[in-house]
């Protein structure tokens, strides 16, 4: 995890010279990546680099790439190779929006799934890692390829790990695929024990005299003396092969620039590296989402020849670049405006009301309004895919999340008309819900029927029959919860329709254009938000 120490605890601030050398190594890595992959040139410039004290060479919060100069220079001195693989690993994290899932996910499972998928793309784009580690990574990826095939994505692997898959391998894989520090990701903040005394970064900032923790020096620049001392222990190998950087400079330097042990001058401590604020996080996520979509278009057009050989990257970009919307807002699309019999606080003026009571005794000047107009869900249909590919656990989570959203937001009228339909290749059951109490009883004792094939058309035909029989006064919409693998209807129904997919591998191109597509992302049941 990220080392968080106060300024006065650092023996010496990072040497200006050491940081300059580390920056040149990073520039070399960037040049090597872009030279073979021009489609990455725009996105690789989105991260600004800053020095910091880490337990890994790199840490990234989605906006800034924090670099431990001592570790970068030590590795470069040992291998004479720029950190191409590690830098590409961080870049793919950002392009796939891995740092932006929120704190509701299981951080350990999400970190491992993100590292594995990022490494899959690193191997595809810049080549396999050298040495024994590269061989071990290949062996692990071969096992995953056998289990998942083309459907290996971050979300699918996360769900498998969260549900207990690979219990004997995961501890080894966590070390094998680890390349950068995830301590500044929102998903890691719930478990962050790197601040002083195991506090959160904000609490650590307060302990340092910062009222809100936003200015606390959570990561400090490394001491230049440490860099010089460790570098001097490494024998200089002038004959080691080198690679030119993007400016044509050799990987080696000459004279006083040849090694980190050259004379160094101190610099101020590195910039603060506390977690991003909510607005900063949203801004960074939007920037990477745009970069991801732009790169996908590039790989399908201008860089088509290169993109044809990067099938895994293109598939991950399709999954990762969903726009986040709030689940509450999504459900409001199916609400209808109706006058509800209750006091309207917004329109009631207490000043005139109390003035009348004082002036005339018991005669108020303004009577309270007895009605107010609200948008709530009344006539609604929920269809649950109960084919063999859908598990009872996933259905339960979806129903519980929907119930919690609607009850917390006051989304239902007191008297409502909701049909919860279970269907696989045919309609298996229909439960009519007339109140929140009915819905609560049903969701606490769900019994699923079906587990056959998947055909969406029978459910639509059944809902149409209900409309013709007068079961719905004003049907506002239908939500179909499914994995997406089935036969879709050809005709657009006379009401809103949304397919809610819990599996990102649902082939969105098959979904009719008149239907809303919503893809649940890891942790969405807990955080009540979705990607569309």
Residue-wise pLDDT tens digits, 158-196: 888 988 999 999 999 999 999 999 998 887 765 544 333
d(CA 75, CA 52): 16
With cut-offs at 50, 70 and 90, classify the pLDDT of residue 303: low
- Under DSSP, the state recorded for 379 is E
Higher pLDDT, 510 or 283: 283
Indicate whether this model's pTM tops 0.75.
no
Q: How far apart are the first and last CA of the chain?
A: 32
Residue range 459-468: mean pLDDT, rounded = 94
Q: Which residues of 284-297 are buried (b: 16+ CB within 10 A; e: fewer)?
A: bbeebbebbeebbe
Q: What is the pLDDT of residue 434?
A: 86
Range of 340's domain? 327-531
Buried/exposed 168-190: b ≥16 CB within 10 Å, e otherwise: eeeeebeebbebbbbbbbbbbbe
**Contact at 8 Å (CB) between 529 and 327?**
yes
Statement to judge: residues 443 and 523 lie in one domain? yes
Greater confidence, 90 or 366? 90
The vertex-181 CA angle with 180 and 184, nearest 5°, equals 135
More confident residue, 342 or 78: 78
Show which of 291, 320, 349 is a domain's final residue.
Answer: 320
Report the relative pairing of strands 412-423 and 58-60 from DSSP bridges: unpaired
- 262 burial (CB, 10 Å; 0-12 / 13-18 / 19+) is middle
- Give the distance, in angstroms, between the CA of residue 337 and the centroid of all CA atoms in the same chain: 34
**Pairwise pLDDT comparison (429 vs 267), residue with the higher score:** 429
Does 393 share its domain with 297?
no
Phi, psi dihedrals of residue 362, rounded to the nearest 5°:
-105, 20
Predicted pLDDT of residue 505: 64
360 and 296 in a common domain: no
- Give a yes or no: residue 304 inside a domain: yes
In a domain, 250, yes or no: no
**CA dihedral (429, 434, 435, 441) positive or negative:** negative
Confidence of residue 238 (pLDDT cuts 50, 70, 90): very low
Which CATH number characterizes residue 358's domain? 3.40.50.410
Residues 403 and 296 both lie in one domain: no
In a shared domain, residues 72 and 219? yes
- Backbone dihedral region for residue 266 (phi beyond 0: left; psi -120 to 50: alpha; all else: beta): beta
Q: Does one domain contain both 284 and 411?
A: no
One domain for residues 345 and 316: no
134 located within any domain? yes
Beta-strand runs (E) in 364-493: 371-385, 412-423, 427-433, 477-482
Average pLDDT, integer, range 9-17: 57
Same domain, 213 and 332: no
At residue 377, the pLDDT reads: 65
Mean pLDDT rounded to a whole number for the chain: 74
Q: What is the domain count for the chain?
A: 2
pLDDT confidence of 443, banded at 50, 70, 90?
confident
- Whether 163 is in a domain gets the answer yes
* 316 and 332 in a common domain: no
The token duo for 130 is 């050298």
> Is-contact 453 423, C-beta < 8 A?
no
Handedness of CA 269, 270, 273, 277 (dihedral sign): positive
Domain closes at, from 320, 346, 379: 320
| CB contact at 8 A, 259 and 235 | no
Tokens representing residue 189 in the block: 């903040």
**Mean pLDDT confidence for 512-517:** 87
| Cα(181)–Cα(443) distance, integer angstroms | 40
64-73, 100-109, 333-342: which is most confident: 64-73
Q: Are residues 276 and 349 in the same domain?
A: no
Least confident piece of the model among 78-82, 161-165, 331-335: 331-335
For residue 439, give both structure tokens. Answer: 């819905």
With respect to residue 492, please indicate whether it lies within any of the assigned structural domains: yes
Q: How many helices (H) and strands (E) does the chain have?
A: 20, 12
Q: Which two tokens stand for residue 465?
A: 């029959």
111 and 224, same domain (yes or no) = yes
Q: Is residue 207 part of a domain?
A: yes
Q: In the listed set 257, 286, 320, which residue is the last one of a domain according to the structure?
A: 320
Q: Is residue 420 part of a domain?
A: yes
241 lies in a domain?
Answer: no
Top-ranked range on mean pLDDT: pick from 12-16, 136-140, 208-212, 393-397: 136-140
Q: Measured at the alpha carbon of residue 186, what is the angle toward residues 508 and 532, in degrees to the nearest 5?
A: 20
At 351 the pLDDT is 73
Query: Do residue 306 and residue 409 come from a single domain?
Result: no
308/460 Cα distance (integer angstroms)? 38
Tokens 């979509």 correspond to what residue? 293
Packing angle, helices 154-162 and 311-320, rounded to 10: 70
């Amino acid at each position: 995890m990220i080392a968080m120490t106060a300024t006065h605890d650092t023996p010496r601030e990072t040497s200006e010279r050491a940081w300059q050398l580390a920056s040149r190594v990073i520039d070399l890595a960037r040049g090597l990546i872009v030279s073979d992959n021009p489609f990455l040139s725009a996105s690789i410039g989105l991260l600004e680099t800053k020095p910091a004290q880490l337990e890994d060479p790199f840490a990234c919060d989605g906006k800034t790439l924090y670099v431990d100069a001592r570790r970068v220079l030590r590795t470069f001195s040992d291998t004479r190779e720029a950190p191409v693989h590690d830098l590409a690993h961080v870049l793919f994290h950002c392009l796939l929006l891995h740092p932006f899932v929120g704190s509701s996910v299981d951080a350990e499972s999400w970190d491992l799934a993100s590292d594995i998928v990022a490494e899959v793309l690193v191997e595809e784009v810049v080549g396999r890692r050298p040495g024994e580690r590269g061989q071990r990574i290949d062996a692990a990826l071969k096992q995953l390829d056998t289990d998942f095939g083309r459907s290996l994505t971050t979300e699918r692997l996360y769900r498998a790990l969260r549900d207990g898959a690979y219990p004997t391998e995961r501890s080894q894989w966590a070390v094998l695929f680890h390349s950068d520090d995830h301590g500044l990701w929102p998903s890691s903040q719930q478990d962050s024990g790197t601040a002083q005394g195991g506090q959160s970064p904000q609490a650590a900032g307060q302990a340092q005299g910062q009222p809100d923790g936003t200015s606390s020096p959570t990561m400090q620049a490394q001491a230049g003396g440490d860099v010089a001392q460790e570098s001097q222990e490494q024998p200089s190998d002038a004959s080691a092969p080198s690679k030119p950087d993007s400016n044509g400079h050799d990987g080696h330097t000459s004279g006083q620039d040849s090694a980190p042990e050259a004379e160094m001058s101190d610099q101020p401590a590195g910039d603060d590296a506390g977690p991003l604020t909510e607005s900063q996080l949203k801004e960074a996520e939007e920037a990477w989402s745009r970069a991801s979509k732009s790169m996908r278009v590039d790989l399908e057009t201008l860089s088509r020849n290169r993109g044809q050989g990067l099938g895994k990257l293109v598939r991950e970009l399709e999954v990762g670049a969903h726009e986040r919307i709030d689940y509450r807002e999504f459900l409001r699309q199916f609400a209808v405006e109706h006058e509800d019999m209750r006091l309207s606080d917004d329109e009631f003026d207490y000043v005139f009301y109390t003035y009348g009571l004082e002036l005339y005794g018991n005669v108020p000047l303004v009577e309270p309004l007895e009605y107010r107009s609200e948008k709530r869900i009344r006539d609604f249909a929920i269809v649950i895919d109960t084919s063999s590919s859908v598990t009872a656990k996933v259905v339960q989570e979806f129903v519980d999340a929907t119930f919690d959203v609607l009850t917390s937001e006051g989304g239902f009228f007191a008297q409502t008309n909701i049909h919860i339909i279970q269907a696989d290749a045919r309609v298996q059951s229909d439960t009519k819900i007339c109140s929140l109490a009915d819905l609560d009883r049903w969701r606490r004792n769900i019994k699923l029927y079906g587990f056959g094939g998947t055909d969406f058309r029978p459910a639509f035909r059944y809902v149409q029959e209900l409309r013709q029989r007068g079961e719905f006064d004003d049907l506002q919409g239908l939500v179909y919860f499914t994995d997406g693998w089935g036969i879709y209807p050809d005709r657009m129904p006379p009401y809103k329709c949304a397919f809610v997919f819990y599996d990102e591998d649902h082939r969105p191109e098959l979904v009719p254009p008149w239907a809303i597509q919503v893809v649940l992302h890891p942790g969405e049941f807990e955080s009540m938000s979705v990607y569309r």
